[in-house]
């Protein structure tokens, strides 16, 4: 059950989030994932083989832009925590920024008629704009999930709905963008990508608006406290459970981004006749992810959320490493393994963001100040740094192994390097993530206890 305090009432009310509200909330992440999935799975390949940049330049773009973008996250968190409007703290950002966000996603996948240097500058500028707007929409969205309900079990359920929709959004990208690009662009692949992303952008605007209209912010802080930006920043870092969560997210996303960035290269250059099955290969991961997201809620009803996350990290590591042993001719075995990697890997996603809300509760009890926006922003900061490191490291390894841009045949050394980076390196990262999560003290018992304490404090207030 969800417990919240209505404004100007001291009565504690018990309600349950409706199916309609959970679905409406989840559509916001589906909209965001149209861009996120395109960036993780397609952008590196688009930059090297369609846009015409060399791997070293792409490495620099990913590193510089994503680090810059990560720095803006805490600033955005401070802004949203201080925002007050008739629509709430977080929902207005979805309403007013969804259209600029959609336009920027099209610009990134547009090839301008410029010189080599001009195209490089264009890539830096448009990608930086996209990531800035990603921050400005997704930090409020992530924070929104924490204030729709105060119940830990409902939060897992809400995030399970959310990541089913998010992964479904990724599936739409992997199944539709490449065929749409071929259909709309014909022999002009650059124009095909641009028009395909225009379709994705228009859909994302509609879904963000549905999310805005379907959700309600309910949870109010126990004590507002003094609004001092420096103190708020220090409070986040003083939260020992957030430090562990932030580190886990950083390592996990770095590993996932390495794997996601290398996926197109793996299927195109390692797997025999794999180039014709790229969309299928990426979609199989998404189908597994949809099922995994749906199974997260039943899993946490049977075991502690923290322990479940640790278990999933080790299973993901085992499956990723086992992929190294599959020969390039066994396309069916490769697709089956990809399905299970997606299933167990994506099962972790709802646990991450429901844990983020638990960490916020933990900090509120310790410091008498609720910082949903900043906790979300610093968590996304870790995610963005992971994106930066993972994307840059993957493309850097391409240069180390002698990758040649432009869709030409690669040497055996390059193909072997692609296989290693796609399979073994992420496996190591998943193991380290599991070790970090195991050190957290937010077990199921602790989470329930702190949720009850906050219910009692809100009732007393």
CATH number of 347's domain: 1.20.1250.20
Please check whether residue 352 lies inside any domain of the structure.
Answer: yes
> 42, 264 in Cβ contact below 8 A?
yes
Q: What is the pLDDT of residue 7?
A: 41
Neighbours of 302 (CB within 10 A): 7
3-state helix, strand, coil in the chain (%, to 5): 80, 0, 20
pLDDT at res. 22: 92
Is the Cβ–Cβ distance between 40 and 361 less than 8 Å? Answer: no
Q: Does the residue 3 lie in any domain?
A: no
Judge contact between 353 and 293, C-beta under 8 A.
Answer: no
**Hey, which residues does 5 pair with through a beta bridge?**
12
For residues 106 and 197, is the Cβ–Cβ distance under 8 A?
Answer: yes
| Calpha distance 418→399 (Å, rounded) | 11
Helix segments in 186-277, DSSP class H: 189-214, 229-238, 240-265
Alpha-carbon distance of 407 to 117, in angstroms, equals 21
**Burial zone of 412 (CB within 10 Å; 0-12 exposed, 13-18 middle, 19+ buried):** exposed
d(CA 434, CA 440): 10
Residue 270 has what DSSP assignment? I
Domain limits at 155?
16-214+226-460
Query: Is 287 inside any structural domain?
Result: yes
Handedness of CA 144, 149, 150, 152 (dihedral sign): negative
Task: Specify the pLDDT at position 14.
Answer: 43
Q: Is residue 2 part of a domain?
A: no
Three state DSSP letters for 349-402: HHHHHHHHHHHHHHHHHHHCCCCHHHHHHHHHHHHHHHHHHHHHHHHHHHHHCC
| 10 lies in some domain | no
Q: Please give the helix or strand (H or E) that residue 2 lies within, else none.
A: strand 2-5
Kindly give the confidence (pLDDT) of every residue in the chain, 461 residues in length, as a single tens digit, with 9 standing for 90 and above. 333 334 443 333 345 788 999 999 999 999 988 877 877 778 888 898 889 888 889 888 888 887 787 778 778 877 887 777 788 888 999 999 999 999 999 999 999 989 989 999 999 999 999 988 988 998 889 888 878 887 777 877 888 888 888 888 888 887 888 788 888 888 888 899 899 999 999 999 999 999 999 998 887 765 555 567 777 788 888 888 989 999 999 999 999 999 988 888 888 888 876 656 777 887 888 889 889 888 888 888 888 889 999 999 999 999 999 999 998 888 889 899 989 998 998 889 888 878 888 888 888 888 777 777 778 778 888 887 888 889 889 988 988 998 887 666 778 899 899 999 999 999 999 999 999 999 998 888 888 888 788 777 777 76
Buried b (16+ CB within 10 A) or exposed e, 336-352: ebbbbbbbbbbbbbbbb
Is position 381 within any domain? Answer: yes
Residue 220 is assigned to a structural domain of this protein: no
How many Cβ atoms sit within 10 Å of the Cβ of residue 151? 21
pLDDT value at residue 6: 41
Which of left, alpha, beta for 368 (phi over 0: left; psi -120 to 50: alpha)? left
CA distance 97 to 211: 13
Query: Does residue 11 fall inside a structural domain?
Result: no
Q: Give the sign of the dihedral formed by CA 93, CA 94, CA 97, CA 101.
A: positive
Looking at residue 274, what is its pLDDT? 62
Distance CA 440, CA 429 (A): 18
* CB hemisphere CA count around 427 (13 angstroms): 15
Q: Which of 45, 43, 51, 133 is nearest to 94 (CA)?
A: 133
DSSP 103-134: HHHHHHT---S--HHHHHHHHHHHHHHHHHHH
Contacting residues for 94 by C-beta, under 8 A, at least 6 apart: 28, 137, 140, 141, 144, 208, 209, 211, 212
Total tally of structural domains belonging to the chain: 1
């Amino acid at each position: 059950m969800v417990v919240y305090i209505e404004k100007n009432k001291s009565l504690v009310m018990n309600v349950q989030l409706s199916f309609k509200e959970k679905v409406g909330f989840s559509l916001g992440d589906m909209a965001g994932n149209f861009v996120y999935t395109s960036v993780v799975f397609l952008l590196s390949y688009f930059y090297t083989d369609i846009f015409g940049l060399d791997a070293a330049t792409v490495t620099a773009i990913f590193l510089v832009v994503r680090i810059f973008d990560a720095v803006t996250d805490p600033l955005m968190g401070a802004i949203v925590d201080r925002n007050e409007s008739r629509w709430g703290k977080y929902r207005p950002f979805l309403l007013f920024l969804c259209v600029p966000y959609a336009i920027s996603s099209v610009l990134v996948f547009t090839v301008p008629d410029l010189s080599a240097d001009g195209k490089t500058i264009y890539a830096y500028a448009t990608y930086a704009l996209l990531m800035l707007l990603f921050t400005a929409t997704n930090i409020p969205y992530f924070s929104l999930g924490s204030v729709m309900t105060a119940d830990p079990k409902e939060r897992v359920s809400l995030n399970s709905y959310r990541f089913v929709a998010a992964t479904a959004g990724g599936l739409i990208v992997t199944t539709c963008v490449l065929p749409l690009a071929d259909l709309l662009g014909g022999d002009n692949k650059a124009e095909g990508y641009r028009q395909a992303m225009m379709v994705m952008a228009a859909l994302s605007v509609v879904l963000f608006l549905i999310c805005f209209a379907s959700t309600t912010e309910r949870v109010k802080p126990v004590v507002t406290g003094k609004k001092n930006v420096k103190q708020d920043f220090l409070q986040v870092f003083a939260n020992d459970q957030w430090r562990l969560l932030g580190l886990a997210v950083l390592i996990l996303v770095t590993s996932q981004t390495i794997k996601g960035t290398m996926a197109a290269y793996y299927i195109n250059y390692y797997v025999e006749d794999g180039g014709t099955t790229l969309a299928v290969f990426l979609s199989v991961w998404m189908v597994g992810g949809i099922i995994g997201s749906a199974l997260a809620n039943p899993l946490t009803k049977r075991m502690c959320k923290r322990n479940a996350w640790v278990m999933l990290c080790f299973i993901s590591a085992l499956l990723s490493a086992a992929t190294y042993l599959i020969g390039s001719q066994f396309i069916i075995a490769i697709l089956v393994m990809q399905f299970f990697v997606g299933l167990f890997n994506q099962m972790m996603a709802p646990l991450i963001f429901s844990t983020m809300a638990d960490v916020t509760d933990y900090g509120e009890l310790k410091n008498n100040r609720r910082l949903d926006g900043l906790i979300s922003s610093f968590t996304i900061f870790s995610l963005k740094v992971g994106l930066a490191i993972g994307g840059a490291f993957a493309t850097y390894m391409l240069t180390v192994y002698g990758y040649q841009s432009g869709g030409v045949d690669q040497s055996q050394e390059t193909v072997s390097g692609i296989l290693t980076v796609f399979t073994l390196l992420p496996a190591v990262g998943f193991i380290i993530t599991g070790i970090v999560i195991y050190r957290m003290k937010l077990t199921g018992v602790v989470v329930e206890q702190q949720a009850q304490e906050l219910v009692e404090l809100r009732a007393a207030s």
